[in-house]
Structure 1
């Protein structure tokens, strides 16, 4: 799977949304359920899009989020981080939020990392985006949506 992701990420070069200013502090990938030991197809798409955007602004942190409610299964965020590192994102650019269990808690955790009024690109499914944007606004952040 990683070889396919490397090819796809290298070939997707659409720019970040024009609305993003220079003050953008981070890119966020939302978690999604995984099969044991591997990212789901939807998670892989989010990962590809997040890395594609991060490559345009590699000075930004790539924030990966997603807990596991099963203590025997690694958090989704860790799967994202492992795959992102394998695909060339330096570990010092990764921020792993592996404890929030829902969108509201993820928004609060991102606020704790980036601070009040920070702009953040949110990469999640189009169906989840309205709820995610609401939670991030409620948390005092300025989310920019990238729905898949």
Structure 2
């Protein structure tokens, strides 16, 4: 099972995607603690989550941990899968309401100048790029310059 999880190819360019995705998640996780009102507990509360304090800290720690794992290429597929789930939830909770111009359930639509598909597309550009980067890493693994590759005996 572990061998299948860390298996990767010899691609030397995968590190570019790992650096991009890993550094963004690491940075965003750290900022949930540095700026709790804007990006941590306060933001989760504004979005309508119950227990925003716990969730903001949980997501922040998870983003930091997965970001670091992606940067070094350790358990790349597992970290990428966790961040795919993270980004899917973020898109559903924060971007889909923009497309329909209304809150749903306990999730609150934030105030923007415009709503609809194109506004949603603009607001989710980073989320979408991180989702695709995570999907790439989930499929490919850590690549040539990764701890996974060193441990998989290629």
**TM-score of the superposition, structure 1-length normalised?**
0.25
**TM-score of the superposition, structure 2-length normalised?**
0.25
Q: Which has the higher contact order (CA 8 A, sep 6+)?
A: 2
More strand by share: 1
More helix by share: 2
